[in-house]
Chain A
């Protein structure tokens, strides 16, 4: 039942997306331009830069992996909140909520297309950088990519559920998305290594899951490291997961109940 329902959400969003004929083309052009920008910026950064050492030494590869995966993580952490907000604004939320489908399935299903599409964009981003600009992979640590990827998805989806809970009750604002989205760009090591940050602020990056997600992913993809070298990242992400999963589920349950009590489920 749930799989068929998720399939229906995917089909709906794909059908809608196909009515916007040029958006995919523009998205592809954006990816090429972003890769080209980092390709030329990378020419300013010598390969021997010490802070890039743990990631294989190439700034271009470092930045492309960071930007491509950060886009995916932002979608995971904000996608659920975005679909709730969009359904509130477009007026479809009430019609969805009177169906027998449980609210968490509605929420996840509504964001599924966005998640798949962003995952495809990430793969495309890396593919374009590889094919056109010579992105250099190391000896890829598949287990590292898989475990880091899985823990990261769980972690960022939990943040997404927290954000959606906030939007259900307060309609706008979403502090979780803001903190993790805005601050992560600066402190999470998306386009430069966190080791370049001054020590007085560097510690804050250790509080952000994006730091471990990108560190582990880059090491696994670019630096030819064995799995044991990414264990600290795996452990940190696992701790985030253990804390965030129950917290986000509880927050969501309370948010739905409060919105039903206040009669504001579909308000915007």
Chain B
């Protein structure tokens, strides 16, 4: 188990139905157009690694993360987290991953940071004093001890992001899925977030971090492994050190091609 990969995807396919207007529904009622988000994607993520999924918007990163967190069912192929098939064993699969839902609207704004974490801790089966201890520990880890009893609506964007990580860690999941965690952060908060993910969660705690980003520099500087994703397929993958060697040329070409292909998408 310890040597087996944390995440495996084989031939993963996801096609979303195209949302149609009233006119199309009337004129072409049997038209079942779909847009391909994942197109036979293969992936393997080793344990305890920081794995950056690099690609522009629309490349398939978020869909992959949602499939791995059981929010979206794949149309084809299979995926496993900690050996659990995400489609066939959604319960154990869910318990294996912490998905840091980055949307700040995913919290209860009129409750405090502590109350928010206590609520989600209860949903993860934590009770009584154990729950209080775990919540306090995570607030400390996220650097939010002093703001724990302030309402969530008074938090800065960076604090909200850290609370999202704390929530994702409630279940002690060994795999953390993060979707563009630095997207709306200022440079200082972004650096703090990157260090937290790599140094604290991966290096110190030994968790596997699957990190979706469109920032090539971020991927090169913080990841152990990088995979460039384009139109739902992995185009290039390997250890960050070797991909970044020689002025990052191969990586840059793959990423630019990904940007171009995604832009051309029908």
Question: What is the interface of chain A, defined by CB distance below 8 A to chain B?
Answer: 1, 4-5, 7-8, 11-12, 15-16, 19, 90-92, 94-101, 257, 260-263, 265-266
CA distance A90 to B106 in the complex (A): 7
Is the C-beta of B136 less than 8 angstroms from some C-beta in chain A? no
> How far does the Cβ of A103 sit from chain B's closest Cβ, in whole Å?
10
Q: Is the CB of B122 within 8 A of A5?
A: yes
Q: Is the CB of A260 within 8 A of B71?
A: yes
Is the C-beta of B88 less than 8 angstroms from some C-beta in chain A? no
Q: A92-B108, A98-B69, A263-B63 are in contact. Are A8 and B103 (CB under 8 A)?
A: no
Stretch with Cβ within 8 A of A (4 or more), from B91-99, B212-220, B235-243 = B91-99
| Selected A-B contacts with CB under 8 Å, 5 pairs | A4-B127, A8-B123, A12-B111, A16-B110, A98-B70
Q: A4-B127, A11-B119, A12-B119 are in contact. Are A95 and B16 (CB under 8 A)?
A: no
CA distance A263 to B105 in the complex (A): 19
> How far does the Cβ of A113 sit from chain B's closest Cβ, in whole Å?
13
Is the C-beta of B14 less than 8 angstroms from some C-beta in chain A? yes
Q: Which secondary structure dominates where chain B touches chain A?
A: mixed
CA distance A58 to B37 in the complex (A): 64
Q: Is the CB of B105 within 8 A of A92?
A: yes
A100-B124, A100-B125 known, 11 other contacts, Cβ within 8 Å: A4-B122, A19-B111, A91-B105, A94-B71, A94-B101, A95-B103, A98-B71, A98-B101, A100-B94, A261-B73, A263-B72
> How far does the Cβ of B169 sit from chain A's closest Cβ, in whole Å?
13
B94 in complex: contacting residue of A4, A15, A19, A99, CB < 8 Å = A99
Number of interface residues of B (CB under 8 A): 37
Q: Is the CB of B167 within 8 A of A95?
A: yes
- Chain A residues with Cβ below 8 Å from B16 are 262-263
> How far does the Cβ of A49 sit from chain B's closest Cβ, in whole Å?
48
Is the C-beta of B115 less than 8 angstroms from some C-beta in chain A? yes
CA distance A90 to B111 in the complex (A): 14
- Chain A residues with Cβ below 8 Å from B127 are 4
> How far does the Cβ of B108 sit from chain A's closest Cβ, in whole Å?
6
A-B contact count (CB 8 A): 82
Q: Is the CB of B106 within 8 A of A95?
A: yes
Shortest beta-carbon contacts, A-B, top 10: A91-B105, A8-B122, A95-B106, A99-B123, A260-B73, A19-B110, A263-B72, A12-B119, A98-B99, A95-B101
Q: Which residue of A lies closest to B122 (CB)?
A: A8
Is the C-beta of B120 less than 8 angstroms from some C-beta in chain A? yes
Q: Is the CB of A92 within 8 A of B94?
A: no
Q: Is the CB of B101 within 8 A of A257?
A: no
Q: Is the CB of B124 within 8 A of A99?
A: yes
Question: What is the interface of chain B, defined by CB distance below 8 A to chain A?
Answer: 14, 16-17, 37, 63, 66, 69-73, 75, 91, 94-95, 97, 99, 101, 103-108, 110-111, 115, 118-120, 122-125, 127, 167, 171
Q: A92-B107, A95-B101, A95-B106 are in contact. Are A265 and B71 (CB under 8 A)?
A: yes
B91 in complex: contacting residue of A11, A100, A265, CB < 8 Å = A100
- Chain A residues with Cβ below 8 Å from B91 are 100
A8 in complex: contacting residue of B17, B106, B110, B119, CB < 8 Å = B119
- Chain A residues with Cβ below 8 Å from B118 are 8
CA distance A4 to B124 in the complex (A): 11
> How far does the Cβ of A261 sit from chain B's closest Cβ, in whole Å?
5
B111 in complex: contacting residue of A5, A15, A101, CB < 8 Å = A15
Q: Which residue of B lies closest to A91 (CB)?
A: B105
Q: Is the CB of A96 within 8 A of B71?
A: no
Q: Which residue of B lies closest to A265 (CB)?
A: B71
> How far does the Cβ of B112 sit from chain A's closest Cβ, in whole Å?
9
A100 in complex: contacting residue of B95, B103, B108, CB < 8 Å = B95
- Chain B residues with Cβ below 8 Å from A90 are 105
> How far does the Cβ of B184 sit from chain A's closest Cβ, in whole Å?
15
CA distance A8 to B115 in the complex (A): 10
Q: Is the CB of B106 within 8 A of A91?
A: yes
> How far does the Cβ of B201 sit from chain A's closest Cβ, in whole Å?
17
